[in-house]
């Protein structure tokens, strides 16, 4: 145990401080999302916050990875984090002046997404350099642990701080956590650069194409990426619908939304221990497919057909319990298959192909709720089949969307399970 801690000392320090900073950023995003939905009452306008974050991330990722492979990883992370902090400071100043508007948030989120485009592949390579290969699955579980704690603590802490001092109090904590993570990375963590086995003087476009060529030559990884792209489309529409449904239902509200988010975090927290304590599966691909099938075949349907907060919380547990196990195995497959000096390029191509469906899902979810399903459900008589299935009043349209997402999620899992079965792990 002591040996493993010594070997992972730098990574654990990086993981711990970056997780703390991520918690601060998530609290700010949560508080601003609540503020925007309460101000506008629109699922679409709230979903646009995430769309603006992911649009530049998806559009520029394929080129950012090529730059990341050429640039020093530590300096890249520091510069990107610092720029992201400046966007928080800008929002903080607008709040203090009382002039914060939705379009300000869209622009700031887009700038944040642009910085994350370059920072994320650099962070992935940095982690690979700091982690011995035999600890890939355990550190993958650690990442799920930080995500689960983030999910548990974000709504609780953000709501408390928001009630105590408004959005500015949440942003202040965000900036404090950022400062701690920034100084630790600057002063105490040394990140070795991977050895380059190829020429580094090629153009950015040629370098980016190398990442695509590598994926084309490795169909297992490429099919996994497209599988996750379909899952992300469904999951992002789910995220776009969750808050509007729970906040709009008569037995919902901010407290219930916080409880559901807490259950998501608690489930992923428990799932982290499942991922870190179980033996490596005989087939990691099968483990990934089964985990996602359980998630897709339970939570969406339970949210669609019930008005009970207890059932919503149970749905959150079933939907997220095995996600850390899936993520840990996925992490091992990627890190052990992709060469270290190619990871920036390949991960960035992965980001474009796997995550382009996220802004599409958020945008589609917001539009479908505001323009299609809510108007459709509001026009239904009280004795119709749709009302008996999804309820009545505002929020019933979002419930109807969850049913469609459930069917779509099961279909995606079945189709790609059959496709991946043909590939050797």
Task: Kindly report the three-state secondary structure assignment for every residue of 179-207.
Answer: HHHHHHHHHHCCCCCCCCCCCCCCCHHHH
**DSSP character for 243?**
H
What pLDDT band is residue 425 in, cutting at 50, 70 and 90? very low
The pLDDT of residue 51: 85
What does the alpha-carbon distance between residue 413 and residue 116 come to, in Å, rounded to a whole number?
A: 29
Question: Could you report the per-residue pLDDT of 169-226, keeping only the tens digit for each?
Answer: 999 999 999 999 999 999 989 888 776 555 555 666 777 788 888 999 998 899 999 9
pTM passes above 0.85 = no
125, 68 in Cβ contact below 8 A? yes
Inform me whether the pLDDT recorded for 78 exceeds 90: yes
Q: Would you say 243 and 46 are in contact if contact means Cβ atoms under 8 Å apart?
A: yes
> Dmax over Cα atoms in the chain, in whole Å?
69
C-beta of residue 88 within 8 angstroms of C-beta of residue 140: no
Residue 1 has pLDDT above 60, yes or no: no
Give Cβ neighbours of residue 337 (< 8 Å, ≥ 6 apart): 218, 220, 221
- Number of C-beta neighbours around residue 217 at 10 A: 9
DSSP for residue 135: G
Q: CB of 49 within 8 A of CB of 32?
A: yes
Judged against a pLDDT cut of 60, whether residue 349 lies above it is answered with yes
**Burial class of residue 201 (count of CB atoms within 10 Å of its CB; 0-12, 13-18, 19+):** exposed
Whats the size of the chain, residue-wise? 425
**How far separated are the first and last CA of the chain, in Å rounded?**
30
- Cβ-in-10-Å burial (0-12, 13-18, 19+) of 186 comes to middle
Distance of CA 235 to the CA centre of its chain: 10
3-state helix, strand, coil in the chain (%, to 5): 85, 0, 15
Instruction: Please determine, for residue 309, whether its predicted confidence score (pLDDT) is greater than 90.
Output: yes
Average pLDDT taken over every residue of the chain: 86
Confidence of residue 383 (pLDDT cuts 50, 70, 90): confident
Cα–Cα dist 144/275, whole Å: 9
Q: Do residues 59 and 131 touch, judged by C-beta distance below 8 A?
A: no
Distances in whole angstroms, Cα of residue 356 to Cα of each of 54, 110, 136, 252, 318: 8, 14, 26, 31, 26
pLDDT tens-digit readout, 123-150: 878 888 888 877 876 777 777 778 777 8
Distance CA 161, CA 172 (A): 10
């Amino acid at each position: 145990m002591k040996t493993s801690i010594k070997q992972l000392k730098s990574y654990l320090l990086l993981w711990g401080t970056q997780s703390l900073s991520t918690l601060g950023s998530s609290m700010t995003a949560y508080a601003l999302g609540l503020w925007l939905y309460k101000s506008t009452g629109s699922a679409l306008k709230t979903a646009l916050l995430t769309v603006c974050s992911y649009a530049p991330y998806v559009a520029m990722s394929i080129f950012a990875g090529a730059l990341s492979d050429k640039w020093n990883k530590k300096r890249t992370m520091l510069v990107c984090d610092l720029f992201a902090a400046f966007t928080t400071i800008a929002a903080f100043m607008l709040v203090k002046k009382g002039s914060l508007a939705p379009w300000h948030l869209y622009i700031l989120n887009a700038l944040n997404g642009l910085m994350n485009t370059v920072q994320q592949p650099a962070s992935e390579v940095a982690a690979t350099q700091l982690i011995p290969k035999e600890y890939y699955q355990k550190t993958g579980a650690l990442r799920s642990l930080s995500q689960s704690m983030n999910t548990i603590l974000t709504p609780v802490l953000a709501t408390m701080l928001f009630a105590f001092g408004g959005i500015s109090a949440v942003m202040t904590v965000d900036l404090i956590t950022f400062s701690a993570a920034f100084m630790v990375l600057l002063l105490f963590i040394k990140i070795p650069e991977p050895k380059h086995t190829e020429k580094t003087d090629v153009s950015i476009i040629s370098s980016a194409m190398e990442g695509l060529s590598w994926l084309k030559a490795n169909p297992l990884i490429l099919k996994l990426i497209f599988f996750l792209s379909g899952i992300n489309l469904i999951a992002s529409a789910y995220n776009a619908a969750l808050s509007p449904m729970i906040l709009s239902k008569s037995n919902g509200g901010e407290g219930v939304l916080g409880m559901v988010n807490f259950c998501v975090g608690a489930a992923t927290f428990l799932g982290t221990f499942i991922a870190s304590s179980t033996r490596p599966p005989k087939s990691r691909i099968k483990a990934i497919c089964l985990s996602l099938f359980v998630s897709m075949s339970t939570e969406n349907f339970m949210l669609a057909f019930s008005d009970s907060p207890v059932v919503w919380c149970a749905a959150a547990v079933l939907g997220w319990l095995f996600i850390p196990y899936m993520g840990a195995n996925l992490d091992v497959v990627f890190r052990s298959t992709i060469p270290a000096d190619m990871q920036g390029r390949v991960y960035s191509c992965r980001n474009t192909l796997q995550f382009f469906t996220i802004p599409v899902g958020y945008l589609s979810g917001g539009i479908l709720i505001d323009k299609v399903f809510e108007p459709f459900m509001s026009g239904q008589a009280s004795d119709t089949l749709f009302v008996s299935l999804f309820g009545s009043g505002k929020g019933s349209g979002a419930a109807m969307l969850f049913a469609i997402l459930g069917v779509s999620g099961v279909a995606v899992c079945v189709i790609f399970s059959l496709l991946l079965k043909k590939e050797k792990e």
